Structure 1
Amino acid sequence: MKKWIVILFAMLPSLVMAAGGNVHLDKAENDLTDQASLQRGAKLFMNYCFGCHSTQYQRYERVATDLGIPADLMKENLIFNPTTKIGELMENAIPEKSAAKWFGAPPPDLTLVARVRGADWLYTYLRSFYADSSRPFGVNNIVFPSVGMPHVLEELQGTPEAIFDTHVVDGKEHQVIVGIKSKGNGELSSGEYDQAVLDIVNFLEYSAEPVKLERQAMGWWVFAFLLVLTIVVVALKKEYWRDVH
């Protein structure tokens, strides 16, 4: 019972991330079998996201094993606290009270965010930031309006600018955001940035359910067993009732 209570409370902060209305979500074509993508996603997450967002329900050692990362490389490149052991949970050191003061609310743990929000939501959200001087961190987000999170991937994408179009509703003109375009001052091209985001989403989907592929593979074996069992049971039933009828 206590285990389920812990999981529920872990999911609740992630629900706060969600907001927004009927925004079209782009399809995240991520692949959990792509180990290279998962490795890149882990690297990007640890370098750009982990400073604020932990994944405290998984361990460094399990991630290294599942993603095919040698333990020494994991410790050298993806564990930033020299006193942290590889078998420990992936918790960061940001003070919760200070984080709540800086961002308006403590940054949620992201271990289960892909199960709560879905890969498509994450993929669209991370590609929907745009410059907005009225916001505290100078950015807003189409999927999550008035977001309290800075655009931590801006150096990769470049400064994202909103593309507006004029729509007339009830005789009045309204400016509507119809897209986002980078100023081109980032380290990555548009396609490369989309792939980087997809890698992060891939890693977060893995984090939410590390045994997903094993579960799916086992499911086919269960179906096969039930099919064979059904054939045997039907044959046994016919044999048993043959003399009765």
Structure 2
Amino acid sequence: MKKFIASLLVAASACLAVLSPAQASTDGIAWDKFPVEKLTDTTALQRGAKLFVNYCLNCHSAAFMRYNRLRDIGLTEEQIKTNLMFATDKVGDTMAVAIDPRQAKDWLGAAPPDLTVIARSRAGANGTGADYLYTYLRTYYRDETKATGWNNLAFPLVAMPHVLWELQGERRAVFEEVADPHDAAKKTHVFKNFEQIKPGQLSAQDYDSAVGDLVAYLQWMGEPAQGYRTKLGVWVLLFLGLFTVIAWRLNAAFWKDVK
């Protein structure tokens, strides 16, 4: 029995070593932390919804999200219809993609993925899915060797072009050639910094804030009830704590005369 338990502990230790963030983070760049305070900022969520509809919904659908759920972030039905609905006339419809999926496959090689739960599906050892998206949308750079003219540090050889380039402008990635630590005869390229070659409509700080708004909306869209769930969880824990105290005192009262 002791040998069996010991073998289980060894196996568990091996699994933890494989899944540890320190080891996984060696693949690709480190992810920047998404500003989580935007998740509770309804104004930021509204700005993110506007960016999503104008820049993402042209190619990517949100097939499990209905327009009328945007009322949960403070928008009226009239505001939704006037400012955010371009592919349908019914506020109860889902956020269908504007492009034909078959045409998208012919033009891009593959149909763009649905984004309803994209923030939840991209979590990894480097951080949350929101951290990944926040990093990904801020690390595009010009690369003339690619068919789209763009590349990305977080997703090398990405097929999607930089749809927010007018806001961020155009940048070139500067790489430094260094010796491979495992083989001195080989050279490897290490990212050094970005070089701005064409300004965008937004400053670097404003662009980062806009990306934060967009990612906040994508995170919220994956689970619109997450704010309510968190608040409810706090009340449940408070109730359980109070009930535990009451149960403890009742137990003491019932057994005080029993020896």
Tell me, yes or no, if structure 1 residue 239 matches structure 2 residue 253.
Answer: yes
Which whole-Å deviations, capped at 9, do the CAs of 1:184-233 have from their partners, x for residues lacking one?
42111111111111110011011011111111111111111111111111
Tell me, yes or no, if structure 1 residue 77 matches structure 2 residue 83.
Answer: yes
Alignment equivalent of 2:131, drawn from 106, 116, 120: 120
| Deviation of the 1:66 alpha carbon | 1.3
Contact 1:53 1:109 survives alignment (8 Å): yes
1:192 is matched with 206
| Deviation of the 1:244 alpha carbon | 2.2
Contact 1:157 1:182 survives alignment (8 Å): no
Tell me how far apart the structure 2 counterparts of residues 216 and 222 of structure 1 sit (CA, whole Å). Answer: 10
RMSD: 1.6
1:17 is matched with none
Contact 1:137 1:149 survives alignment (8 Å): yes
2:108 is matched with 103
Alignment equivalent of 1:91, drawn from 87, 93, 96: 96
Matches within 5 A, 1:10-49: 21-30=27-36, 31-49=38-56
Matches within 5 A, 1:103-182: 103-117=108-122, 118-169=129-180, 170-182=184-196
Look up the equivalent residue of 1:46 and give its one-letter code: V
Alignment equivalent of 2:243, drawn from 206, 209, 229: 229
Contact 2:39 2:220 survives alignment (8 Å): yes
Look up the equivalent residue of 1:32 and give its one-letter code: L
Q: Which runs of 5+ in 1 are unaligned?
A: 1-19
**SS of equivalent to 1:79:** coil
Q: Which runs of 5+ in 2 are unaligned?
A: 1-25, 123-128
Structure 1 residue runs of 4 or more that deviate by more than 3 Å after TM superposition? none
Contact 1:125 1:144 survives alignment (8 Å): yes
Tell me how far apart the structure 2 counterparts of residues 114 and 130 of structure 1 sit (CA, whole Å). Answer: 22
| Deviation of the 1:22 alpha carbon | 3.2
2:69 is matched with 62
Which whole-Å deviations, capped at 9, do the CAs of 1:100-130 have from their partners, x for residues lacking one?
2222221111111111111110000001111
Identity %: 44
| Deviation of the 1:173 alpha carbon | 3.3
Tell me how far apart the structure 2 counterparts of residues 47 and 160 of structure 1 sit (CA, whole Å). Answer: 22
Higher relative contact order (CA 8 A, sep 6+): 1
Look up the equivalent residue of 1:21 and give its one-letter code: D
Tell me, yes or no, if structure 1 residue 53 matches structure 2 residue 60.
Answer: yes
| Deviation of the 1:175 alpha carbon | 2.6
Tell me how far apart the structure 1 counterparts of residues 194 and 255 of structure 2 sit (CA, whole Å). Answer: 70
Tell me, yes or no, if structure 1 residue 217 matches structure 2 residue 240.
Answer: no
**SS of equivalent to 1:244:** coil
Q: TM-score with structure 1 length normalisation?
A: 0.86
Look up the equivalent residue of 1:108 and give its one-letter code: P
1:202 is matched with 216
**SS of equivalent to 1:87:** coil
2:125 is matched with none
Tell me how far apart the structure 2 counterparts of residues 217 and 86 of structure 1 sit (CA, whole Å). Answer: 28
